[in-house]
A and B are shown apart, each in its own frame.
Chain A
């Protein structure tokens, strides 16, 4: 069963009809439906291309959150070898919303860290829907430190609606944990590459994304607040999320123009979930390219350039 988004309703009908015809034909072999079904396929492809040719920012948010999109775990399994998860913050717990550990990326030993949302009810609950608690950020800080000491590049895979707003999370210092992870990102003398594969939600994303290079999938988003949250505060109406998504400039395309993202990785027509393997491969190629570009930099230069990158955001002219 394919999951359809609200704006894909028309598409769901056409694809559903084609599927129905083929199912009927399987039961009645004398029926010839292929011409009709193929015509529906063509129609569906055209509609898909049309819909995804110009996604509004709010639709991009929906695509970025699509439950069938490949998640962190899928990327780690497909792109990394010898993945060895390393658990815990050495203080309180291991946060399952954050995956992380040692791995090889195209033979190179690296540290990989990312938010994992889960893919069904059980794993979503286990992963807390990709919303990390302080333990998760502290685990990430610890792993970045490890990478720094052993001179391993760090690759982060960002996909979270935000840090978890919970009682315990606040009591254990969610703010401090995020601030320290961000600080660690800016301190390590090894290449740090971040890829936003879906949602880059506010401080919970920044903590992993204060990187040398930031790549974003074509339909991923990165924002200071969710469109719904922004609409509730500024429009006093959470139904104004379309307007808020528009105003916030949260698409990968806008972020590249704002020099926040360095690279936009194209997705298959219809989004990453309609071509999971191709998407994952494209992300792998992007990471390889970015890592290769930083291979000759020494630690101090990396840190200096990374800091300058952020210092400049507010100094240099911005054009959209």
Chain B
């Protein structure tokens, strides 16, 4: 497959759809309260330029910032049987899925793509916290397997951005079985001698942390990301004491030896390129990027600036 012929152009409105931010070109940083102009926020990949707070970034926007020139080609993921358990809580599972698809315009909670970063071929997958809390069900399992198989076929590394509350309860035991299942996918990469880098983003908890997210050759987290097995409240109820400041946050895990690095989102690409090229015994990174495809004009923004 020629991936160049199948590239995806970044769309100006993909990060902040008009539906989410009606008639408003400013976002208030939830951490420090600074009013941030959208273009500025987008340039900083949804991190706050004044306090470095890392906000949610959807997989597609992340890939647009990550891949050279914003060009990547999506890898198809097999769709599993829908709702095999006929799960119903206060809502039917298919209805929850439908709502999540509508809200995110995505098929499920994991996007898989291939392309180049710093002229280094990679396969990447990014979990979407806005899709049912990023929860791991059979689709996410299929996505990770597809990503691992693609990486093995192309002899290139896999970079996985995790973000999930845990397993998808609506798939019952079948979601739990994605823990061993995705572990098999990781083993495929290891046996092929290919790097598997996990970038843990806010939040990564539960069964996701206890499987593929903790089996990387290298673990990098975004600043202040919550990374945990058990929920903070559950622990407080169990041990009946207050937990220390910063407990289960990226920096705390770094101190406790569970991570290799904590890296700002805007520095992540450079760092990944450098690490991957060393692990692949490749030449030093070539600085500079492919030219970005021309962006469509943003008339409202232009008017505002004028």
Contacts and interface: CB of A to CB of B under 8 A. Distances in A.
Interface stretch (B226-234, B269-277, B297-305): B226-234
A167 B240 CA distance: 11
Interface stretch (A76-84, A151-159, A305-313): A305-313
B235 A183 contact: no
Given A172-B256, A173-B257, A223 B231 contact: no
Contacts of B55: none
Contacts, number: 178
B238 A165 contact: yes
Interface in A123-147: none
Contacts of B81: 317-318
Interface in A283-314: 307, 310-311, 313-314
Nearest to B208: A175
Give the interface residue-count category, chain B: 35 or more
Which 4 residue pairs are nearest across A and B when measured between Cβ atoms?
Answer: A165-B230, A314-B138, A234-B89, A175-B209
Contacts of B187: 183, 186-187, 307
Contacts of B184: 186, 307, 310-311
Interface in B72-107: 78, 80-81, 84-90
B183 A165 contact: no
Interface of A: 163-167, 169-176, 178-180, 182-183, 185-187, 202-203, 206, 210, 222-225, 230, 233-236, 243-244, 247-250, 255, 258, 260, 307, 310-311, 313-315, 317-320
A176 B227 CA distance: 11
A174 B169 contact: no
Contacts of A172: 256
Contacts of A224: 167, 169, 171-173, 175-176, 207
A320 B138 contact: no
Given A203-B207, A318-B174, 19 more contacts: A163-B210, A163-B229, A167-B247, A172-B256, A175-B214, A178-B210, A179-B214, A186-B180, A202-B176, A203-B210, A203-B229, A206-B176, A206-B207, A233-B169, A243-B89, A247-B88, A250-B173, A314-B142, A314-B181
